[in-house]
Amino acid sequence: MKDLVERLYPICRSITGDGVRQTLAIIGEHLPLRVHEVPTGTQVLDWTVPREWNIRDAWIKDAAGRKVVDFQELNLHVVGYSVPVSGTFTLEELRPRLHALPGAVPYRTSYYAETWGFCLTQETLDGLAEGPYEVLVDSTLEAGHLTYGEHVVPGRGEEEVLISCHVCHPSLANDNLAGIAVAVELARWLAGRGELRHTYRFVFAPGTIGAITWLARNRDRVAAVRHGLTLACAGDPGPLTYKRSRRGDAEIDRAAAHVVGDRVLDFTPYGYDERQYCSPGFDLPVGSLTRTPYAGYPEYHTSGDNPGFVTEAAMADTLHALQRVVEILEGNRTYLNLSPYGEPHLGRRGLYGSLGGRSDTQETQLAMLWVLNLSDGEHSLLDIAERAQLPFTTVAEAAAALHEAGLVKERA
């Protein structure tokens, strides 16, 4: 996963353009990917697919011809979607177009207003003389396409789990290359699990306009989405955080909370693309899984969000959490107790461990009793795990043992 982050990091991405295509091509080396090209001008819900932006070079040169700001060194130096420019300016003329932060280069965009600008550290800005400065932005903004990719891991049923990542950010490692890398590894893990209950659909699309485009083009499909997550900021050192869907109590909300614990936030219509999937007309059960939440760390949307900021351990932890969520979604069942009058004799069926007193044995035995008591056809295994305050896997294993012994049956 870290290798993939490092490989994708230098590419200049935006909401359209060749950087997105290059990114999807690299993802496609790891996963079978269906790439969609949606023409400029296409109406998508209340939006229109914008013109495509590509950039070859950009710089600011001082009077001695030295590049004081250079796109080739870091693509964050140029405001995303900057229109072409070539000319000579004084520092005073340039200042309104220069964006700076102390010790870091900020990430700025101007997708829907035709302008241009540069980003630099405050220290570099403070060191600039009055000029003149030669300025070049060698870019194009013209009719083209919006590009996004989909990967599907088929299950035996038509109900889908949606995993969505945005692919529009340039050289920002945690937001959102780590999310892309974790999603790729999750898809590979799912492909090796054997038969799946759900179909898993991975969407790699530009933020906001990409998710809106996917929704507009899949209105007949969204009814199949039973669970979903947007995945972002998956590699920083902070703890995992889950943001609930608009529904607040969807199964994905409960499953993720069971895994994440206390670090659960209520839904707000601000953040990543969960706000598109959760817009009231769709109201899909899509939450958001991050480590440190949206805009919650100093390196966010700056040059500090580089490959050195994300860690292998954090990405592995995010992946492991997603795997546990998947295990809940795949394993959650509702059972009916076939011996509901009094407690059945578990010992003679070999369901009580021969070594009494071990903590894990006691937990398993307790899980069996909870499953038997609440398997009334109304309570799912996740219901039982929540009420018993036991790990879902322990409850699921207890239910499997009881099913094998003929004491419970799955509700049709």
In degrees, rounded to 5, the angle at the alpha carbon of residue 331 between the alpha carbons of residues 327 and 332 is 115
Return phi, psi of residue 300, to 5°. -55, 130
Task: Locate 349 and state its tokens.
Answer: 């069926």
pLDDT at 22 over 80: yes
Other Cβ atoms less than 10 A from the Cβ of 135: the count is 20
**Tens of pLDDT along 371-394?**
999 999 999 999 999 999 999 999
Domain containing 361 equals 334-410
147 contacts 37 by C-beta, under 8 angstroms: yes
Interval 288-307 mean pLDDT: 96
More confident residue, 363 or 160: 160
For residues 126 and 138, membership in a common domain is answered with yes
Interval 97-113 mean pLDDT: 96
Interval 395-407 mean pLDDT: 94
Banded model confidence at residue 56, pLDDT cuts 50, 70, 90: very high
pLDDT at 107 over 80: yes
pLDDT at 144 over 70: yes
Nearest to 235 by CA among 301, 169, 174: 174
For residues 339 and 239, membership in a common domain is answered with no
pLDDT at 353: 63
Please report, for the domain that includes residue 343, its CATH number. Answer: 1.10.10.10
pLDDT at 278 over 50: yes
pLDDT at 359: 55
Nearest to 180 by CA among 44, 45, 22, 65: 22
For residues 305 and 248, membership in a common domain is answered with yes
Nearest to 367 by CA among 384, 345, 350: 384
Q: Give the domain-ending residue among 88, 107, 142.
A: 142
pLDDT at 355: 39
pLDDT at 364: 87
Please report, for the domain that includes residue 156, its CATH number. Answer: 3.40.630.10
**Tens of pLDDT along 191-214?**
999 899 999 999 999 999 999 999
Banded model confidence at residue 305, pLDDT cuts 50, 70, 90: very high
pLDDT at 360: 61
Nearest to 182 by CA among 320, 334, 327: 320
| Beta strand pairing call for 85-89 and 133-142 | antiparallel
Question: What is the average pLDDT score of the chain?
Answer: 95
Domain count, the chain: 3
For residues 293 and 168, membership in a common domain is answered with yes
For residues 123 and 212, membership in a common domain is answered with no
pLDDT at 273 over 60: yes
DSSP structure class, residue 183: H
121 contacts 101 by C-beta, under 8 angstroms: yes
44 contacts 210 by C-beta, under 8 angstroms: no
Task: Locate 394 and state its tokens.
Answer: 């322990």
Please report, for the domain that includes residue 130, its CATH number. Answer: 3.50.30.90
Interval 79-108 mean pLDDT: 97
For residues 216 and 341, membership in a common domain is answered with no
pLDDT at 62: 95
Task: Locate 307 and state its tokens.
Answer: 């490959």
pLDDT at 350: 84
For residues 28 and 170, membership in a common domain is answered with yes
Cβ-Cβ contacts under 8 Å for 288 (sequence gap 6 or more): 229, 230, 231, 232, 242, 243, 271, 272, 274, 294
Cβ-Cβ contacts under 8 Å for 190 (sequence gap 6 or more): 153, 196, 200, 326
Torsion of CA 328, 228, 336, 349, to 10 degrees: -10
Residue with tokens 């009494």: 356
Q: Of 24-33, 80-89, 340-349, give the lowest mean pLDDT range.
A: 340-349
pLDDT at 354: 43
pLDDT at 346: 87
Residue with tokens 């995945």: 231
Q: How far, in Å, CA of 315 to CA of 29, rounded?
A: 20
Q: Give the domain-ending residue among 88, 120, 142.
A: 142
For residues 261 and 210, membership in a common domain is answered with yes
pLDDT at 189 over 60: yes
Interval 72-93 mean pLDDT: 97
Interval 62-75 mean pLDDT: 96
For residues 11 and 107, membership in a common domain is answered with no
